[in-house]
Amino acid sequence: MQKAYIAGFLDGDGSIYVRMKPNDTYRYGFQIAPYVVLFQSQKDSENFKKICSLIDLGYIRERNDGILEYIIGKEDSIRGFLEMVTPFLILKKEQANLMIKILDAKAKVQDKNDFHALAKLVDRFRELNYSKKRKRYTLTP
């Protein structure tokens, strides 16, 4: 029952996303950074902390605008969390399944062609989420 509740929380007040940021220090010039984030008003911090303690895979960040974020950023934690809640998701099931594919592809990158395939998955993921600043980074092979 708790898994279904947390999945509902993610569907309503959460986000699954991956950022592909230009970064010259990375092998192919981009950093792939996946995240799962839950949001809640700081006014209800006690209940939010209770929910987060059930998950225990990330950390809480207080934003300046009165919002709390529970951020899961480690890839193994993201995978474990998504495998736990995906059967119960409704609105974000497609994002969760694609994120797992992205994590799989990221773990298998051995050359530029593999990285290009990963970039295509990231671009597909961006089409599922609303973003004012959406950029496409698909690379040419």
* Cα distances (Å, whole numbers) of residue 22 to 26, 27, 76, 123, 128: 9, 11, 23, 14, 21
Partner residues linked to 39 by β-bridges: 69
Letter string b/e over residues 111-128, b meaning 16 or more CB atoms within 10 A of that residue's CB: eeeebeebbebbbebbee
Give the position of tokens 């947390």. Answer: 6
Active-site residue, selected from the candidate residues 8, 11, 13, 114: 13
**Is 111 known to be catalytic?**
no
Catalytically annotated residue among 12, 29, 44, 104: 12
Degrees to nearest 5, angle at CA 35 with 128 and 53: 125
**Rg (Cα) of the chain, in Å, rounded?**
16
Check if 123 is active-site.
Answer: no
| Catalytic residue ranges | 12-13
